[in-house]
Amino acid sequence: MKPVKAATVDIARLVEGVRAGRRAVLARAITLLESKRADHQNSARRLIQLLLPFTGSAIRVGITGAPGVGKSTTIDALGAYLTGQGRRVAVLAVDPTSVRTGGSILADKTRMARLAADDNAFIRPSPAAGTLGGVAAKTRETMLACEAAGYDTILVETVGIGQSETVVADMTDFFLALMLPGAGDELQGLKKGVVELADMIAINKADGDNIARARTAAAEYGAALRILTPRSPTWSPPVVTYSALTGGGIAELWAQVLDYHAKMTAAGELAAQRRAQQVKWMWAMFEERMRGLLVSDAKIKAKLKEIEAAVARGSLAPDLAVDKLIAALGL
C-alpha cells in the first residue's frame, strides 16, 4: 500500500469514508495512523478525535498464546462463526518484527483464509516493531478506527513470544489465553502473569485422539486458576476446550465471552475498566511523545548519545543521566 501523501490528506473525507464502512478508506486511514512522519501524526490525531464519538460499542477481545498454539487458525474459525451470526469482525493481527533486520512477514491473511475472503471481516496485519507486549504501537488507534467503521467485534492477536501481555489486556475488554493439551509439562513453564490476566483459558486441538488430553489439561489449568485471586469479583475465569480445526467448541467459547460482557456491563465494571484504560493510554502516549522529542531535535539527539556513552562507560549513574535528559528537554 502506498503511503498517504501529506498534501492529499483530507481528514473530512477520511472520516466520511470510514463512517460509511468503506474498507479501502479504512485501510488508508490506518496507514495514516501508523505513519511516523510528523505531518501525518498531526493529521492522525485530528482523525482520531473526530472518530472518537463513534467508538466504544464493539466487544474487544485480546488473544494470546505461545507460537504453535493455533492463534491465527482459532481467529479464522472464531471470526467465521461470528460473521455467520451477523457480526462484523475486525482482526488486528500483530506480526513479530525481526530484532536483527527490522522486517516482518505480515502473512496473517494467508493463515486466515476464510476471513480474508469474508466481506464482513477486515484483517489488518501490523508489525510489532519492538513494542512491549507484541502489540503494534498504533493498535489502540486502529481499533477505534475499526469501531467507527461499524465493526462490532475487535480481535487483537498478539505475538505471544514472551513479552509482557499487560499491554493488550489494557486495551481490550476480554483477555483470552490459548493453550495446548499436555498441561502437565506446560504448567511448569507457565507464565503466572499471563494466567492472572486471563479472563478465560481455552485448550485448542481438542479433537481426535487429543480429546482426553485436552480435558485433562483443562482440569489442571482449572486447578491452577482456583489458587489465584480473580481480577474481578464479578467473573471467575473458566477453562474451555475447543478445536480450531473442526470448529467444535467455538460457539461455547464465544458464549463465555458474551456472558462475561453482560455480567461486567451490568456490574458497571466494564465501563470503569475502559475509563481506566483510556487514562493508561494517555500516559503511554505521553511517554512515547517524550521519547520522540529526544530523537527529533538534532542538538538533543547529540546530547543523548553523549549521556548514553557515559552511562555505558560507568562514569555516569543512570539516575543522574535521567536528570540530564530532563534538563535537555527544558523541563
Please provide the DSSP assignment of 268-309 as one string. THHHHHHHHHHHHHHHHHHHHHHHHHHHHSHHHHHHHHHHHH
d(CA 184, CA 218): 11
Which contiguous run of DSSP H or E holds residue 157? strand 153-157
Higher pLDDT, 70 or 188: 70
Question: Would you say residue 308 has pLDDT above 80?
Answer: yes
3-state secondary structure 205-216: CCCHHHHHHHHH
Q: Three-state SS for 234? A: coil
Q: Tell me the percentage of the chain whose pLDDT exceeds 90.
A: 54
Mean residue pLDDT across the chain: 85
E-strand stretches of 74-127: 89-95, 121-127
**Among the listed ranges 105-119, 210-224, 236-250, 288-302, which one has the minimum average pLDDT value?**
105-119
Architecture of domain 1-54: Up-down Bundle (1.20)
Q: In the beta sheet, which residues pair with residue 174?
A: 61
Tell me the fold of 277-328. Helix Hairpins (1.10.287)
What is the rounded average pLDDT of the residues 246-253?
A: 96
Q: Tell me, what's the pLDDT at 106? A: 45
**Per-residue pLDDT, 281:** 87
State pLDDT tens for residues 28-77.
999 999 888 888 989 999 999 999 999 999 999 999 887 788 899 999 99
Q: Which CATH number fits domain 56-266: 2.60.40.1180, 3.30.470.10, 3.40.50.300, 3.60.21.10?
A: 3.40.50.300
Higher pLDDT, residue 112 or 199: 199
Question: Is the pLDDT reported for residue 7 higher than 80?
Answer: no
pLDDT for 163: 54
Give residue limits of the domains in the chain.
1-54, 56-266, 277-328
Is the pLDDT assigned to residue 274 strictly greater than 90?
Answer: yes
Is 139's pLDDT higher than 80?
yes
Q: Which residues pair with 61 in a beta bridge?
A: 155, 174
d(CA 146, CA 51): 10
What is the pLDDT averaged over residues 157-165?
64
Per-residue pLDDT at 241: 96
Distance from C-alpha of 116 to C-alpha of 128, rounded to nearest angstrom: 21
Higher pLDDT: 317 or 128? It is: 317
